[in-house]
């Protein structure tokens, strides 16, 4: 953690309370929060979760803008919960540093912060047996590639083909929302290998892009 004053100067990931990420690059997560818009004012840099910015860093309800590496989730409640404003997520495409002002609905209200997926698997190619087989709850897809996820190892059993309608990153906080049972995934294959009725086209909004506002509860 660093506290100082600063002036502005295609992969699949599967999460378990594991995330499943289909992506194209790897980079250590980092988030710098600023107490003024446009990356100005007092800054707090995080490289790990913060369940309570107030008690840990005296930074509760202060963040108004950010710069990040990775995918980060910002909550208005303690311990990654929500009070009234909800939850916002931000990610940086192509592993570049991404900076933005926070949404008005959560600006000045952030109480806890985490990056997406402590326990996670990232895939750039076929994987006949997942390391966290049977423990996944969420999926992130970055880039235009299609991916097929299976309930059995070695690409067997019930399966779903997933791809983004826009070719941009897509975040699925709860795989049950798209008809995949929790803790059921055991292998993943690049490309679309499912029957037509098992192809899922994932919308860009509101779960894609550089930032978004989550209206459903994230798995913990």
User: What is the CATH number for 103?
Assistant: 2.60.20.10
89: phi then psi, degrees, rounded to nearest 5: -125, 155
My answer on whether 106 and 127 are in the same domain is: no
What pLDDT is attached to residue 11?
61
Q: Cβ-count burial of 44 within 10 angstroms (0-12 exposed, 13-18 middle, 19+ buried)?
A: buried
The pLDDT profile of the chain, 220 residues, written as one tens digit per residue, is 544 433 333 566 654 444 455 554 456 789 999 999 999 999 999 998 899 999 999 999 999 999 988 778 888 888 877 666 566 767 665 567 889 899 888 899 999 998 875 556 677 788 899 877 677 777 877 667 889 999 999 999 999 999 877 776 677 767 887 888 888 889 999 999 999 999 998 865 343 334 555 443 333 3
What pLDDT is attached to residue 32?
97
My answer on whether 56 and 42 are in the same domain is: yes
My answer on whether 111 and 125 are in the same domain is: no
CB within 8 Å of 126: residues ≥ 6 apart: 155, 188, 189, 190
What pLDDT is attached to residue 18?
43
Q: How many domains does the chain have?
A: 2
What pLDDT is attached to residue 6?
36
What pLDDT is attached to residue 72?
84
Does some domain include residue 150? yes
């Amino acid at each position: 953690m660093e506290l100082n004053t600063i002036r502005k100067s295609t992969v699949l990931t599967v999460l378990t309370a594991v995330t499943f990420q289909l992506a194209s690059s790897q980079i250590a997560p980092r988030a710098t929060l600023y107490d003024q818009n446009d990356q100005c004012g007092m800054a707090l840099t995080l490289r790990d979760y913060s369940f309570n910015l107030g008690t840990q860093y005296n930074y509760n309800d202060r963040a108004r803008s950010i710069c990040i590496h990775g995918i980060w989730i910002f909550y208005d409640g303690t311990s990654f919960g929500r009070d009234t404003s909800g939850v916002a997520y931000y990610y940086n495409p192509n592993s570049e540093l991404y900076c933005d002002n926070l949404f008005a609905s959560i600006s000045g209200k952030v109480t806890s912060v985490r990056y997406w997926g402590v326990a996670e698997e990232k895939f750039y190619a076929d994987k006949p047996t997942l390391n966290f087989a049977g423990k996944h709850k969420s999926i992130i897809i970055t880039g235009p590639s299609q991916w097929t996820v299976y309930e059995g190892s070695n690409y067997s059993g019930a399966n779903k083909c997933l791809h983004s309608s826009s070719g941009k990153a897509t975040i699925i906080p709860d795989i049950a929302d798209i008809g995949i049972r929790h803790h059921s995934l055991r292998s993943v294959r690049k490309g679309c290998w499912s029957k037509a009725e098992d192809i899922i086209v994932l919308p860009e909004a509101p779960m894609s892009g550089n930032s978004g506002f989550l209206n459903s509860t994230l798995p913990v």
